[in-house]
Structure 1
Amino acid sequence: MTYRVCFVCTGNICRSPMAEAVFHARVEDAGLDGLVEADSAGTDGWHEGEGADPRTLAVLEENGYGLDHTARRFRASWFSRLDLVVVLDAGHLRELRRLAPTEQDAAKVRLLRSYDPAADRADLDVPDPYYGGADGFDACLEMVEAASTGLLAAVREQVEGRAA
Structure 2
Amino acid sequence: MANRILFVCLGNICRSPAAEAVLRKQNPHLEIDSAGTSRWHTGEPPYAPMQTAARQRGVDLSSLRARQFGVNDFTAFDLILVMDAQNRKDVEALRPAGNTTPVRLFTEFATASPHDHVPDPYYTRDFDGCLDLIEDAAADLSAAVAEI
Identity %: 41
Moved over 2 A (4+): 102-105
Partner Cα distance (1:153, 1:95) in 2: 28
> Can you list the C-alpha shifts for 1:104-131, whole angstroms capped at 9, x where unaligned?
43x51111110122343xx411111113
1:41 aligns with 2:31: no
Q: How far off its partner does 1:59 sit?
A: 0.8
Greater share of helix residues, 1 or 2? 1
Structure ID, larger Rg: 1
Question: What is the correspondence of 1:15-164 to structure 2 with a 5 Å cutoff?
Answer: 15-28=15-28, 33=29, 36-67=30-61, 68-102=63-97, 104-105=99-100, 107-120=101-114, 123-133=115-125, 136-158=126-148
Structure 1 residue runs without a partner (length 5+): 159-164
- CA-to-aligned-CA distance 1:83-110 (integer Å, 9 cap, x gap): 00010011111221221113543x5111
What TM-score comes out, normalization by structure 1 length? 0.83
Aligned residues: 147
Secondary structure class of the residue paired with 1:101: coil
Instruction: Give 1:70's aligned amino acid.
Output: R
Partner letter of residue 83 of structure 1?
Answer: D
CA distance in 1, matches of 2:141, 2:97: 23
TM-score (norm 2): 0.91
